[in-house]
A and B are shown apart, each in its own frame.
Chain A
């Protein structure tokens, strides 16, 4: 049912005066086919309305503006890393014992260490669904190349007091479904 724009604007102005969230999206939906009439009035109202106090959530968002986009979006939605990880595990039907690995990969993705273009569409769907942001906006460019390896003096002397112990080389595990989701399918 379409609600009269005058009544909706009045409701919105009252929410503003009480310091409540305005829910502009919901208000426009309720206006139905009169949304185009209401939207400019809301804009005009907001441009002329008194300043609101900064909420803790808004402050946290602003303070995250120097962070990579994924972190910003997560902070803006007040979502924890574990919530995103749970969403990915559930949406991609990943076995629960691989959750820790998903978490590590997700944190690398957040930090811009992981190339976002190699991450599977299903993972992005889970993330964008939870954070309410488009993939384009969330995709941080790959992080800077690692710094050059440290160089040591060639004549540095080292005296070993302990006998060297040889450790058998650990066979790397073959890539699994989680690797495939975050690193792309392994090349043959």
Chain B
């Protein structure tokens, strides 16, 4: 399953704009690593993730588009986070381009997107969720846009919050 993120990544890979490509993922990488490592050490880890991805991109890897780049980002982030506290990790050369690449192409990441969450909802709640989670509108703006009463929008948001939690746990 490919989405709009993949189209832009593929375009940047194709034009060789690998700095823009990685920069687009930088903040996500930091956030993922802070969440995985449960604290500020995540920023150190994120730097290591970016170094590895940068070296790989400069070496021409991932241009074949076998996997969406976001999957590569997530896999490398998971791999570096897991290895961070292994003895000798920081003393040794961090990256081995010829070594085994992380191969956990977690299917769930390829196939699930927030867009799809919206699509799982009933049409009314889905329309609210799209404006709320994807477009960042405030409840009042959503009510106006969808010509709904504010109370109806708040009720839909409340239902969607619970469903989002449930969907993220799948």
Chain A positions near chain B (C-beta within 8 angstroms): 5-7, 9-10, 13-14, 17-19, 21-22, 24-25, 28, 35-36, 39-55, 58-59, 61-63, 65-66, 69, 72-73, 76, 132-134, 136-137
Contacts and interface: CB of A to CB of B under 8 A. Distances in A.
Contacts, number: 142
Identify the interface centre among A36, A55, A58, A132: most chain B CB within 10 Å of its CB: A58
Q: Is the interface of A mostly helix, strand, loop or mixed?
A: helix
B28 A52 contact: yes
A69 B70 CA distance: 25
Contacts of B154: none
Contacts of A45: 114, 164, 168
Contacts of B169: 41, 44
Given A24-B34, A35-B38, A62-B50, A51 B9 contact: yes
B27 A28 contact: no
Contact of A48 (B44, B113, B165): B113
Interface stretch (B17-25, B97-105, B119-127, B145-153): B17-25
B35 A63 contact: no
B144 interface: no
B26 interface: yes
A6 B42 CA distance: 23
Nearest to B70: A51
B38 A28 contact: yes
30 contacts: A6-B162, A9-B164, A10-B164, A14-B133, A14-B136, A19-B136, A21-B27, A22-B27, A24-B35, A25-B42, A40-B35, A42-B31, A42-B35, A43-B35, A47-B109, A47-B112, A48-B168, A50-B113, A51-B8, A52-B28, A59-B23, A62-B22, A63-B19, A65-B51, A73-B47, A132-B40, A132-B43, A133-B44, A134-B44, A137-B48
Interface of B: 3-5, 8-9, 19-20, 22-28, 31-32, 34-36, 38-44, 47-48, 50-51, 54, 70, 74, 90-91, 108-109, 112-117, 132-136, 161-162, 164-165, 168-169
A14 B133 CA distance: 6
A61 B168 contact: no
B47 A76 contact: yes
B160 to A, nearest CB: 9
A65 B50 contact: yes
Nearest to A15: B136
Q: Is the interface of B mostly helix, strand, loop or mixed?
A: helix
A28 B35 CA distance: 8
Contacts of B113: 48-50
A17 B27 contact: no
A137 B136 CA distance: 37
A55 B23 contact: yes
A35 B36 CA distance: 11
Contacts of B70: 47, 51
Given A10-B161, A17-B134, 8 more contacts: A17-B133, A25-B40, A48-B109, A51-B25, A58-B23, A58-B27, A61-B23, A61-B26
B5 A39 contact: no
Contact of A6 (B109, B112, B161): B161
B114 A52 contact: no
Contacts of B109: 47-48
Contacts of A66: 54
